[in-house]
Homo-oligomer: A and B are copies of this chain.
Amino acid sequence: MRYSKKDLKIRVDYNNMMASVIGRSQGITETELDSISSEISKAYNFVAAGSGIGMMGWTKLATGQDDVVEDILATAKQIRRNFEYFVVLGIGGSALGPIAAFKAINHLHYNDLKKSKRKGPKFYVEDNVDPERMAALLDVIEPEKTMFNVVTKSGSTSETMTQYLIINDILVKALGDKARDHIIATTSKSKGNLIKIAAREGYKTFYIPDGVGGRFSELCPVGLLPAAVLGIDIKGLLQGAAFMQEQCESAFVKRNPALMTAALMYLAMTKHGKNISVMMPYADGLQFVADWYAQLWAESLGKNKTLSGHACNVGQTPVKALGVTDQHSQVQLYTEGPFDKVITFLAVDKYRCEVAIPEGCKDIPDVNFLSGHTMNELIKAEQLATEYAVTKAGKLNYTINLPELNEFTLGQLLMLFMMETAYCGALLGIDAFNQPGVEEGKNATYALLGRRGYEDKKAELDNAPKKQNRFII
């Protein structure tokens, strides 16, 4: 499909971050922005210089995957033809991107549609190891009609490999040698366990490039294969991402939306005490983009050490909200509570359908005023009204406007956030691409499960202070 760059460019409106709009007591002044211009330039240069190198391989995904895309499209076509269910076994970045794209582009009750109305198989993403969840999945799929996509770069993710062992056992018992036709591995080409297993078993395999970490992997086969199976235009997604990258080539902060939002968020968190980042889409389709962003932002920026090795404890806590739903849950706090957050509204100019509000309560003016409007007008009015209310209450916020929600605008949005994260990491002077803080929990899990080699950690756990009964009610 062809997308118009002119009509479909997403817009970042940061008026309500600025002191000249929201007031000096909370807003960021232009002088303040100017005062960090050399840091902004350094961050821009750091990211530009690192592009495509090391763990910034994800910057090369939007335009460098022609062969991979063709393979994915051909594979997806076969899957759509031959399978009734498509199940992703993955967690973290292997799950959040596929879920976000699925919800954004596909029907909001996709799995409930009759087969004839769906573009592909029923879709499930298994990103937990709750035994009730696995049992529930097995109640609603038929393994012999299911393609499982096992996604883990290292092949040592306990959750995903646990799911793999369970599913593989079921498939082999039911199908024997044909089990291999029901598993696709998405993993590192060069190292890890899953690539060894895939080679041994003869699984169809897609590769996660070395320089692409989990939370930056939606535009590699991790995200593209499920998307293609679901009938999502993955070329459009990549074109949108590439279009955003073009805009981020500008070293001029007022022309580079990711650099500007990074600079504003950096000032908000380091100088204005905003340790919370709320993302509030006004579209059900964008709800899980907020989930995907929550991982990207938290895991990239939540660090206790700078690149030069100094101790710190930085990072903003992401909060997922949904407009208008959470107006009836969170907006009381956002307006009257502490001045501790930045709210990012995601807005859609034109929804993919229009629903009129008919008459039915002519005798009740409190209700009747709604008739004659559309739901589209109502949700838009509520979005603008909420923006107005939080701005009036002095709470920093900005809005990202999508002309429509489609593959091209979604691609722009995802790339905007990835670039913003890279810039913000550079401004904070931390490594945005590692996650050393998850090792402690992983090792403790291994120790508790009695894995060989973790005897010392087990001893450490055994020697930890015992729980005191007087602190249990």
Contacts and interface: CB of A to CB of B under 8 A. Distances in A.
A364 interface: yes
A319 B326 CA distance: 13
Given A295-B329, A467-B13, A351 B130 contact: yes
A317 B336 contact: no
A355 interface: yes
A473 B197 CA distance: 48
Given A328-B91, A331-B437, A338-B313, A197 B112 contact: no
A472 interface: yes
A136 B108 contact: yes
A41 interface: no
A50 B449 CA distance: 49
A1 interface: no
A196 interface: yes
A24 interface: no
A372 to B, nearest CB: 10
Contacts of A127: 325, 328
A365 B215 CA distance: 27
Contact of A131 (B134, B332, B376): B376
A131 B370 contact: no
Nearest to A472: B13
Given A92-B329, A131-B375, A452-B369, A468 B337 contact: no
A446 interface: yes
5 contacts: A130-B285, A165-B359, A275-B338, A317-B340, A389-B444
A443 B386 CA distance: 10
A446 B381 CA distance: 8
A299 interface: yes
Interface residues of A, number: 162
Contacts of A168: 360
B449 A370 contact: yes
Contacts of A5: none
B328 A92 contact: yes
A436 interface: yes
A267 interface: no
Nearest to A196: B364
B92 A158 contact: no
A314 B339 CA distance: 9
B260 A302 contact: no
A389 B130 CA distance: 20
A446 B276 contact: no
Contacts of A353: 131-132, 135
A254 interface: yes
Interface string A364-390: 111101110111111101101110110
Interface stretch (A14-22, A61-69, A218-226, A233-241): A14-22
B333 A109 contact: no
A109 B137 contact: yes
A241 to B, nearest CB: 17
Interface in A101-151: 107-109, 111-113, 117, 122, 127-137, 139-140
Contact of A351 (B131, B367, B448): B131
Given A92-B328, A275-B276, A108 B132 contact: yes
Contacts of A91: 324-325, 328
Contacts of A92: 325, 328-329
A30 B354 CA distance: 59
A155 B361 CA distance: 12
Nearest to A353: B135
Contacts of A388: 440-441, 444, 461, 464
A459 interface: no
A451 interface: yes
A448 B385 CA distance: 8
Contacts of A450: 369
A37 B141 CA distance: 56
Interface in A71-94: 91-93
A112 B142 CA distance: 12
A373 to B, nearest CB: 6
A169 interface: yes
A29 interface: no
B109 A325 contact: no
Contacts of A128: 284, 322, 324-325, 379
A49 interface: no
